[in-house]
Structure 1
Amino acid sequence: MARHRDERIDQSVLAAVTALLREVGYTALTMEAIAQRAGTTKPAIRRRWKSQKQLVVAALAEERTGVAEMDTGCTSCDLVGHLEALRVGMADPALGNVLPALTADLADDPELRKEFLAVVWEPRREACVESLRKGEARGEIRSGLDIDLLMDLFAAPIVFRVLFGHRELDRKFVRDVVSGVLSGVGATDGDGLCEHVGP
């Protein structure tokens, strides 16, 4: 009879990966360090995850850094909230410092890329998509627009600045992105941000 998988080891390993990513970064991460931090062995880890890269993706999915549930009744407020959560999440070394190097690995591994998109990126997208659909239902966003395209228009500037670090990524930039995109897709010209969104 097969032995039951000890979920305590799973959680210890994932927590160890997240902590080490913050301390040493993605490229310096090793299985030895993970096993030592988690109080387990490398064979025990390899029985659960096929590779260290897959383990990193699992840790990012578990941490849910940058995922936010927003429903203020105001589309621009919700979008600022989502992108601000993404910005803060990207400032966390467990995500922001990992993403550039991990992106290169994803390009060479279609299976890992598919898994990353499903368990790490999709939850962040889905939370924001829900806000966009509610905004459409309230008449704050023009109906019939490509929601996936809208998501990319909102999120891409944040991710781009994280990957290249060429300009400051602050709350003002988040507000400017939301205002700029909504001015083009809002139900009326120049919708911008509502008065409830703080500075």
Structure 2
Amino acid sequence: MAQAEQGGAAGPTRAAQGRPRDTTIDARATEAVVQLLSTLPYSALTLEGVATAAGTSKPALRRRWKSLPGVVVHTFISVLGTTPTPDTGCVHCDLVHGITNLAEVFEDSPITRALPGLLSDLEADPGLRADFLRDYFEARRATSRTVLEHAVERGEIQDGLDMELALDLLAAPLYYRAFFGHQPIDAGLAERTVQSVLNGIATPEWRRHHEP
């Protein structure tokens, strides 16, 4: 009995049962959503279709993201959430760089087509909506806020600025065109947007030294 107890204590711990987690599904799901949106509207996207294109199963996708909008949020953040606004000390350069990066993805990636329908679906899932706002919207917005705050400290932006309104003004043209498609997201949109906003919020001294 004692030997059996000692053998049990010294023996290897039994491995946990179940299939190991497939670490490639995240990337394959992202690729599948982007691929499908290149030929289908968001309304035609299905969890089954994404699973087939990703070479996996609906249960595997549900275990990770619970729903189709969850997969699309993951894809949206994967595709668009990796190039925040830099903070180099040049408020004009940094804002143009940040908006240009996002504009280029919006123009080139079919994921943009999912945005209106996705936001509508998120109204039915407050938890997922909160994740989307935190991990994509607020994460990117925070980097632009930091650039403006540092510009205020350097005396380039007016003190007492309505920061949230300024951030809305910087992002609005890009999202407005992505939603409605009434005008193109062209190469000069970021420059024109930033210059227009800075003309309203920059100090007179900054404007004197940075006339177009």
TM-score bracket, shorter-length normalisation = 0.7 to 0.9
1:40 alignment partner, SS class: coil
Contact 1:9 1:38 in 2 (8 A): yes
Could you list the runs of 4 or more consecutive aligned residues of structure 1 that deviate by over 4 angstroms after TM superposition? 1-4
Contact 2:145 2:167 in 1 (8 A): yes
Identity of matched residues, %: 39
1:84 aligns with 2:120: no
Structure 1 residue 162 displacement after superposition = 1.5
Letter in 2 for 1:24: L
Contact 2:87 2:146 in 1 (8 A): no
Give the aligned partner of residue 158 of structure 2. 142
Contact 1:65 1:89 in 2 (8 A): no
Structure 1 residue 56 displacement after superposition = 0.5
Give the aligned partner of residue 36 of structure 1. 52
Contact 2:156 2:205 in 1 (8 A): no
1:95 alignment partner, SS class: helix
* Range with bigger deviation, 149-158 or 164-173: 164-173
* Aligned-partner Cα distance in 2 for 1:160–1:107: 19
Change (3 A) 1:176 1:9: closer
Give the aligned partner of residue 9 of structure 2. none
Give the aligned partner of residue 7 of structure 2. none
Contact 1:66 1:89 in 2 (8 A): no
Give the aligned partner of residue 153 of structure 1. 169
Unaligned runs of 5+ in 1: none
Contact 1:14 1:62 in 2 (8 A): yes
Change (3 A) 1:164 1:9: closer
1:103-128 per-position Cα deviation (integer Å, ceiling 9, x unaligned): 22233432232121112222221222
Change (3 A) 1:48 1:66: closer
Contact 1:75 1:135 in 2 (8 A): yes
Change (3 A) 1:17 1:70: same
Contact 2:123 2:129 in 1 (8 A): yes
Task: Specify which of 83, 86, 91 is matched with residue 75 of structure 1.
Answer: 91
Contact 1:184 1:190 in 2 (8 A): no
Give the aligned partner of residue 47 of structure 1. 63
Change (3 A) 1:67 1:122: farther
Structure 1 residue 157 displacement after superposition = 1.9
Normalising by structure 2, report the TM-score.
0.79
Give the aligned partner of residue 94 of structure 1. 110
2:112 alignment partner, SS class: coil
Task: Specify which of 27, 33, 49 is matched with residue 17 of structure 1.
Answer: 33
* Range with bigger deviation, 73-82 or 15-24: 15-24
Task: Specify which of 131, 138, 158 is matched with residue 115 of structure 1.
Answer: 131
Q: Comparing both structures, which one devotes a greater share of its residues to helix?
A: 2
